[in-house]
Amino acid sequence: MKVLWTHNYSPTCQSSGVFMFLLADAMKEVGVDVHLHYTGSLRNAWRLRRTTEEIAELSRKFDIAHAQFGSACSLVTSRAVCPKIVSLRGTDLLGSDTGGLVARLHGRVVCHMTRRALPAYERVIVMSDRMRAELALHHRRNHEVEVIPDGIDLHQFQPMDRREARHRLGLTEDTRPWVLFASLHSNNPLKRPQLAREAVAAAAGKRPEIVLKTLTGQSHDQVALWMNAANVLLLTSTREGWPNVVKEAIACNTPFVATDVSDLVEIARVEASCTVAEATPSALAKGILHAIDSPRPTDLHQQMQSMNMGAIALKIRSLYEQVSSRTPIAA
């Protein structure tokens, strides 16, 4: 089966879309011939029209076209002549509700493009149950929707002794409790880095040795070491699909403290070390202190077994087979 993957993750940015490239490799391992097509910048009408025409022509050579993001990526892929699937990953569903006027206007445009494109797609993939509910509520799409989160490489992300992880990072002497904040861009308003700093400062007011570590621009290989070296991961986002950094932390037995995004509350209900809190410094600080004062979990990584990269690749391959043969999804 030949599948065209359209995406707008810049090949010049080391950390951009890492999960997608890893998943593409996993798809090839389960027998799907994936062709990656980078759309380039789509910030003007001429580029949108030309790229739409290019993809429509290119799609004649494929069994399925799979847009890897909503917004402009889904719009230019919506005219593909073969069966189409789109994956929505978070901000492409509802846009942005933080930042300045420009960021908010951009978020509205993103949302509008996604809404225009959706009717052309036979199937829609979302990352979480919450996204499926939001898709139905805000875009009136409640049919042919699949919840398939991005996969994680459980061979790369697995528990390691915290001291060993810090030793490999060259930070053996640092025995302080680490709160890890991870973001591709350190000033991304959707991630609310200022709230993260305020939350850690509030926690440090009671435990002065607590330190905030910001992870950005690191190679994927280094991320697993940082996840194991930290005492707790802090997520302060306004919106998320299913945050990959939380998957990676959980796979390393590192608990999280997070705002109420995605389906994280479902994990926090069964894992005492993890906390979903109100988006205030005091509430997040309470969760941070709880995680640091609690014994490190020993079986938290079991929560990620269903998101193993190989298992996710098989689910997507099954979906491709259903769409290609036009058979209905089993109830």
Region class of 95: left (phi > 0), else alpha (psi between -120 and 50), else beta: left
pLDDT at 138: 87
- Spatial separation of the C-alpha atoms in residues 20 and 243, rounded to whole Å: 13
Instruction: Enter the pTM of the model.
Output: 0.91
Query: Buried b / exposed e across 130-150, counting CB within 10 Å, b at 16+?
Result: bbbebbeeebebeeebbebbb
- Identify the three-state secondary structure at position 322: helix
CB atoms within 10 A of CB 31: 10
CB atoms within 10 A of CB 221: 8
Which residues does residue 231 pair with via DSSP β-bridges, in sequence order?
none
Mean pLDDT per 10-residue section of the chain, whose length is 331 residues: 94 76 96 97 92 98 97 97 96 79 81 94 97 92 94 96 97 97 85 97 98 89 95 96 96 98 96 97 99 94 95 98 72 36
- Identify the three-state secondary structure at position 253: coil
Q: Which domains does the chain have, with CATH numbers?
A: 2-151+308-325 (3.40.50.2000), 162-305 (3.40.50.2000)
